[in-house]
Amino acid sequence: MNRREQPEERRGYPMNCEEALPLMHEYLDGNTEGREAAELKRHLLQCPECNRIFRELEMTEALVKSCPKLAAPSDFTDRFMQNLPVRPKRQPWFSWVKRHPAVSVASVFLLVMLGSFLSMWSQDQELTVKGNNLDQLVIEDNTVYLPKGHRVQGNLMVRGGNVQVDGEIDGNLVVVDGKYHTASTANISGKIYSINQAAEWLVYQVKEIFSPAVQ
Amino acid sequence: MKDTEARLAMLARSGDRSAFASLVDLYKDKMYHLAYRMLGSSHEAEDIAQETFLRVYTNLDRYDENQKFSTWIYRIATNLCIDRLRKRKASYSLDAEMPDGEGADWYSLLPSDQPTPEEEILLSETQEHIRKAIDTLPEKYKSVVILRYLQDMSLQEIGDVLDMPVTTVKTRVHRGREFLRKKLHSEYGGKIF
């Protein structure tokens, strides 16, 4: 902008060569207005050196423009398309996965963990009883009964059934997916865990892994 | 408003191979010509053209359909050419440390100095002088001059492609033009002017 205003301020003075060169480029860019072009022309008529440079620039530009346009080999498209792999269907989550590799790996790991716990959870919904000296127990239909005076050493785990405890347990009582009832005569030295949901089952499994006290 | 090319790109993105083939057909000559002028070798020109289309294909998901497709593909192609020029420069320099595999690359560049028979026939003597002068242009003027004169782009379009202000593009066009003029003047003087 400043440069454009210069000739106006210096109106009446002849244009010098330093001013002329950038103006020649502007002219070749197609950016000179009438008055600027006229001043440039006047200078070029007076100055043989600038005249020569201007003609050379014009010629250079014409020569560069005249460079023959080259075409790609005629079988380019065919060859290229033949080697092009099939594009996988667009999966929006895939780009997200690409951008967040750490989170993705972590969530896949969690999914697998969760899956294995859940499969353990739903493996069988039949009545399962785990513990030592099971001969102390009376099992009827869906109910596990520990009569008064009977005693289980260690943990007792019952899954998929109800428990009635009248006797003694030297450890924890774990009831999964079932109800329990303890009589006044019952004596359980450990804790009672009643687990009725998958999430709780998961917490219990994790606890079992990390805390030997539960054993 | 989406242009035809943007629409073809959207079709290609959803798996339409013929749409992509149309894009290749539309741009293969432009990309080949651009790369040929930037690198001065038909072998490398084809290489760059293929690489450009491959990148377009694998990055279709990232194409912003509100952007002009031509700006996008030209940006990919010019960047590939500039990378290749820099790599070449680095491998020619004696001081440059040559990483593994770079040596092979240097050899693969060697035959490119000889024009193929086809090129020899095509070029008149003057055009050959021009070609050589363009070859010697410093990289930052080269891309601008080629996009301006051999791809008929406006200064604004060049600015979009190279991601630089129009004023910078303009300065580079001027300097590139001046460079070519001086080169042709000093080397061929009366023969050309």
C-beta atoms of B33 and A71 within 8 A: yes
Pairing relationship of beta strands A187-188 and A168-170 according to DSSP bridges: parallel
A–B CB contacts, 8 A cutoff, strictly below: 107
Q: Is B36 on the interface with A (CB under 8 A)?
A: yes
Q: How many angstroms separate the CA of residue B77 from the nearest CA in chain A?
A: 14
C-beta atoms of A59 and B170 within 8 A: no
Our CA dihedral for A23, A29, A35, A38, rounded to 10 degrees, sits at: 70
Q: How many angstroms separate the CA of residue A94 from the nearest CA in chain B?
A: 11
Q: Is A89 on the interface with B (CB under 8 A)?
A: yes
pLDDT of residue B181: 95
Flag whether pLDDT at A130 surpasses 90: no
Query: At the topology level of CATH, where does B123-193 sit?
Result: Arc Repressor Mutant, subunit A (1.10.10)
The span from the CA of B39 to the CA of B85, in Å, is 7
Name the more confident of B171 and A160: B171
In which residue are the tokens 């405890």 written? A165
The span from the CA of A92 to the CA of A78, in Å, is 30
Flag whether pLDDT at A1 surpasses 50: no
The residue type of A186 is A
C-beta atoms of A29 and B173 within 8 A: yes
Strand order in the sheet with A143-146: A138-140, A143-146, A162-165, A180-182
The span from the CA of B167 to the CA of B20, in Å, is 35
Q: Which of these ranges, A86-100, A124-138, A156-170, has the smallest mean pLDDT?
A: A86-100
Flag whether pLDDT at A10 surpasses 60: no
Mean predicted confidence (pLDDT) in B105-132:
61
Per CB-CB distance under 8 Å, the chain A contacts of B178 are 25, 57
C-beta atoms of A76 and B49 within 8 A: yes
C-beta atoms of B181 and A22 within 8 A: no
Report the interhelical angle of A48-65 vs A17-29 (nearest 10°): 20
Mean predicted confidence (pLDDT) in A102-109:
89
pLDDT of residue B102: 45
C-beta atoms of A72 and B174 within 8 A: no
Provide the chain A residues 174-193 that lie in CB contact (below 8 A) with chain B.
none
pLDDT in tens, A146-189: 888 888 888 888 888 888 888 888 888 888 888 888 888 888 88
Domain boundaries, chain B: 1-114, 123-193
Q: Classify domain B1-114 by CATH number.
A: 1.10.1740.10
Q: How confident is the model at residue A214 (pLDDT cuts 50, 70, 90)?
A: very low
Per CB-CB distance under 8 Å, the chain B contacts of A68 are 122-123, 127
Q: How confident is the model at residue B100 (pLDDT cuts 50, 70, 90)?
A: very low
Find out whether A181 and A163 touch, Cβ atoms under 8 Å. yes
Q: What is the CA radius of gyration of chain B?
A: 18
The span from the CA of B140 to the CA of B157, in Å, is 16
Find out whether A192 and A175 touch, Cβ atoms under 8 Å. yes
Q: How many angstroms separate the CA of residue B98 from the nearest CA in chain A?
A: 31
- As a whole number, the mean pLDDT across chain A is 82
pLDDT of residue A32: 84
Q: How many angstroms separate the CA of residue B66 from the nearest CA in chain A?
A: 19
Q: What is the CA radius of gyration of chain A?
A: 46
Q: How confident is the model at residue B101 (pLDDT cuts 50, 70, 90)?
A: very low
Query: Could you give the count of Cα atoms lying within 13 Å of A124 in the half-sphere of its Cβ?
Result: 7
B61: closest chain A residue by CA: A90
Q: Is A99 on the interface with B (CB under 8 A)?
A: no
- Round to the nearest angstrom and report the end-to-end CA distance of chain B: 47
In which residue are the tokens 């440390």 written? B97
C-beta atoms of A68 and B123 within 8 A: yes
Q: Is B155 on the interface with A (CB under 8 A)?
A: yes
Q: How many angstroms separate the CA of residue A82 from the nearest CA in chain B?
A: 10
Mean predicted confidence (pLDDT) in B47-70:
93
